[in-house]
Amino acid sequence: MSALLLSSALNLCSGPPLVSLDFPSTPALALPRGSRNQKIRKLKAGFWESIRSGILKNNTAQVIEPASTAEEEVPFPEEFVLVERTRPDGTVEQIIFSSGGNVDVYDLQALCDKVGWPRRPLSKLAAALRNSYLVATLHSISKSAGEEGNGQKKLIGMARATSDHAFNATIWDVLVDPSYQGQGLGKALIEKLIRALLQRDIGNISLFADSQVVEFYRNLGFEPDPEGIKGMFWYPKY
């Protein structure tokens, strides 16, 4: 995936160009996330050992995906390691996918800054996340060789979907940290988000894509203007 394709964070049009951002700025609010329960899938010890020995031997990146079939019961919210790799200096980096929506709103704003989106009030960002049906995130966790404990965690990608909880879901705000683009992470993020939505029986998944990312979403199974149905916007800023 070229950097150009993922430039400006996949630019779904909830991205600021269309929104008249004339809300007064409000004091920053922390995103209340305590009530949400996150189940972390524990990988079996044997599996970890095999991965670890593979890493130490080859120093290559491994893509670890949970072995799930369509019939398997997947607990929600999900959290699992998407990629694990060892850097030359020995630090181990894991990219973690989560559908639990555990997003620090300050981290999110920093990520939006990184991809070049105009600022949106923190309180509104927090509200938008709270009101979203599913918030999927990618976090990077880095641990020095031999370091115990949690390591350094940072938000490197996010996508969220709003929904009526029954029929339709719409994906908004897809973004991946520019330094992590071009590695298939955006693709994985959307694939997992779609799977989570389908598993919740949401039959209609839609989104609005800037022209330069239409191909990206086509490759993920989306079709533009199916049966000639057109996306329309009320007095867009374009």
Partner 1 sequence: MLLPTQIPIVPNPLPPKTLTRPRRRDAAVSAAYSVSDESLSARGFTFHRSTERLNLDHLNSVFASVGFPRRDLEKIRTALEHTDAVVWAEYEKTRRPVAFARATGDGVFNAIIWDVVVDPSFQGIGLGKAVMERTVAALLRKGIRNIALYSEPRVLGFYRPLGFVADPGGIRGMVYVRKPKK
Q: Which of 153, 221, 157, 141 is nearest to 189 (CA)?
A: 157
Position among 23, 35, 38, 116 found at the interface with partner 1 (CB under 8 A): 23
115 binds partner 1 (CB under 8 A): no
State the DSSP string of 56-101: HHH---EE------TTS---SS-EEEEEEEE-TTS-EEEEEEESB-
71 binds partner 1 (CB under 8 A): no
CA dist., res. 55 & res. 49, Å (int)? 10
Q: Give the other-Cβ count within 10 Å of 101's Cβ.
A: 20
User: How many residues of this chain bind partner 1 (CB under 8 A)?
Assistant: 58
Contact range with partner 1 by CB under 8 A, out of 2-10, 60-68, 108-116, 131-139: 131-139
Cβ closest to partner 1, residue 91 vs residue 102 = 102
124 binds partner 1 (CB under 8 A): yes
Site string for partner 1, 176-205 (x = CB under 8 A): ---------------x--x---------xx
CA distances to 3, 16, 18 from 21, in Å: 28, 8, 9
Is residue 193 within 8 Å of 159, Cβ to Cβ? yes
Position among 142, 162, 183, 199 found at the interface with partner 1 (CB under 8 A): 162
CA distances to 28, 86, 112, 163 from 173, in Å: 20, 30, 9, 14
Position among 163, 174, 176, 192 found at the interface with partner 1 (CB under 8 A): 163
Contact range with partner 1 by CB under 8 A, out of 56-64, 74-82, 88-96, 217-225: 217-225
CB burial readout 59-90, b (16+ within 10 A) else e: eeeeebeeeeeeeeeeeebbbbbbbbebeeee
Position among 2, 20, 35, 60 found at the interface with partner 1 (CB under 8 A): 20
| Residue 217: active-site member | yes
C-beta of 43: minimal distance to partner 1 in Å? 25
C-beta of 137: minimal distance to partner 1 in Å? 16
Angle between helices 105-115 and 122-130 (to 10 degrees): 110
Q: Which of 180, 217, 235, 238 is catalytic?
A: 217
Contact range with partner 1 by CB under 8 A, out of 2-10, 32-40, 83-91, 218-226: 218-226
DSSP, collapsed to helix, strand or coil, labels residue 129 as helix
The values of phi and psi at residue 169, to 5°, are -135, 145
C-beta of 176: minimal distance to partner 1 in Å? 18
Residues with catalytic annotation?
217
Residues that bind partner 1 (CB under 8 A): 13-14, 17-20, 23, 120, 124, 127-129, 131-133, 160, 162-168, 170, 172, 191, 194, 204-211, 214, 217-238
